[in-house]
Amino acid sequence: MVDLSIIIPSYNTEQVTRNTLDSLFSALQKSSKMITDEVIVVDNGSQDGSVAMLRKIKQPFFHLIELPNNLGYGKANNIGLAQANGKYILYLNSDILLDNVDFVDLISYLEAHAEVGGLTVRVNLPEGGIDPASHRGFPTIWRSFCYFSKLEALTFKIPYLNGIFGGYHLASCSLDTIHQIDAPTGAFFLVRKTILDKLEGFDEDFFMYGEDLDLAYRIRNLNYSIVYYPSQSVTHLKSKSGLQNKKSKTRNSTRRHFYESMKIFYDKHYASSHSFLTNIIIHSIISLKQKFS
């Protein structure tokens, strides 16, 4: 067993993935005398030269798993998890630059706080500011309504009101202090492997998007907390493989997965608590949102 396994799913992001790995190897080098680690890249059938680039990496702790086609984000991570030997698992996107990460500090924090099931650092966007997906509350009907109706945006910086209307992104919490959150982004999510083994990793019903939210929900249901740890940071490039892709075919497919994941999450965790009519309305609203987005 090693202390830390880092799992990175890769899909048609050759140069971005290379940059992520360079920054990761640099961060790991700083902690090499204190912790043992391994890096597992699961390539999801890339066609852009990613595999050729990855095959050239010669590191004793680097492992490449090549999939024949795109099996989805959750499936790729689960395949990596099955091969991981770490006490802790870091889910890391292929478009993350590790600016300021001390893995010894992160693992030490988890070692000292048995009640914490997972954590994330401050995930910044290239243009500045935090990635909203990295600091979230669970999307209840009320929180989702406030977010999509812009009530959250209108009250985001207003004390007390942001606690009422800003729960979707936990607007009332200080981004400068350590605190509990409901869910981070899977772009940087450090979790105890014992928990992941119990939960069997990601729910593969989510092809992409929503699986990190679902995993956090299930971790919280085991009575573990999830912590936002802002003294360390990464940059999330929001690369070309998702909603930021300018190719209409890719964007349309990604958008479909994005909104379908909302329905899957709602049906799995909330539908049983609401009436049949409410569930029909929620599905209809999500479908309309997808159509006009």
Q: Please write the tens of the pLDDT for every residue from 122-153.
A: 999 999 899 999 999 999 999 999 999 999 99
Please, what is the average pLDDT of the chain? 92
Could you tell me if 113 and 186 lie in one domain? yes
Residues 6+ apart with CB under 8 A from 187: 91, 92, 93, 95, 96, 123, 131, 133, 134, 234, 236
Report if pTM > 0.75. yes
Q: Which of these three, 206, 222, 238, is where a domain ends?
A: 238
Task: Read off the pLDDT band of 58 (50, 70, 90).
Answer: confident
CA 113-185-187 angle, 5° bins:
100
Q: Could you write out the three-class secondary structure of 114-156? A: CCEEEEEEEEECCCCCECHHHCECCCCHHHHHHHHCCHHHHHC
- How many domains does the chain divide into? 3
Q: Are 34 and 85 members of one domain? A: yes
Distance CA 10, CA 114 (A): 31
- The domain that contains 106 carries what CATH number? 3.90.550.10
Lowest mean pLDDT among 68-72, 204-208, 214-218: 204-208
> Which secondary structure element, helix H or strand E, spans residue 266, and what is its range?
helix 248-269
Task: Write down which residue in 238, 264, 283 finishes a domain.
Answer: 238
Q: Are 158 and 200 in the same domain?
A: no
Is the confidence at residue 246, as pLDDT, over 60? no
Do 191 and 111 sit in the same domain of this protein?
A: yes
How far is CA 240 from each of CA 40, 66, 75, 96, rounded to the nearest angstrom? Answer: 21, 20, 20, 12
**145 plus 202 within the same structural domain:** no
Residue 187 has pLDDT above 90, yes or no: yes
Asked whether residue 74 falls in the same domain as residue 155, the answer is: no
Same-domain pairing of 112 and 248: no
pLDDT band for position 248 (cuts 50, 70, 90):
low
Strands 225-236 and 96-100, how do they pair?
antiparallel
10 and 64 fall within a common domain: yes
Q: Are 185 and 96 in contact (CB under 8 A)?
A: no
| Contacts of range 277-285, beta carbons closer than 8 Å, 24 or more positions apart | 278/141, 282/141
Are residue 4 and residue 67 in the same domain, yes or no? yes
Closest CA to 103 of 42, 178, 26: 26
CB atoms within 10 A of CB 163: 14
Is the same domain home to 271 and 188? Answer: no
For the stretch 251-266, pLDDT in tens is 677 788 888 989 999 9
Helix-strand-coil split of the chain, %, nearest 5: 45, 20, 35
d(C-alpha 201, C-alpha 199), whole Å: 5
Asked if residue 127 and residue 269 are part of one domain, the reply reads: no
Is 161's pLDDT higher than 80? yes
Q: What is the 3-state secondary structure (H, E, C) of 43-95?
A: ECCCCCCHHHHHHCCCCCCEEEEECCCCCCHHHHHHHHHHHCCEEEEEEECCC
Helix (H, G, I), strand (E, B) or coil at 259: helix
| pLDDT classification of 208: cutoffs 50, 70, 90 | confident
Residue 134 CB contacts under 8 Å (≥ 6 apart), including other chains: 120, 122, 123, 184, 185, 187, 188, 228, 236
Note down the domain range covering 161: 137-172
Whether 145 and 287 map to the same domain: the answer is no
- For position 18, what pLDDT does the model report? 95
pLDDT at 251: 65
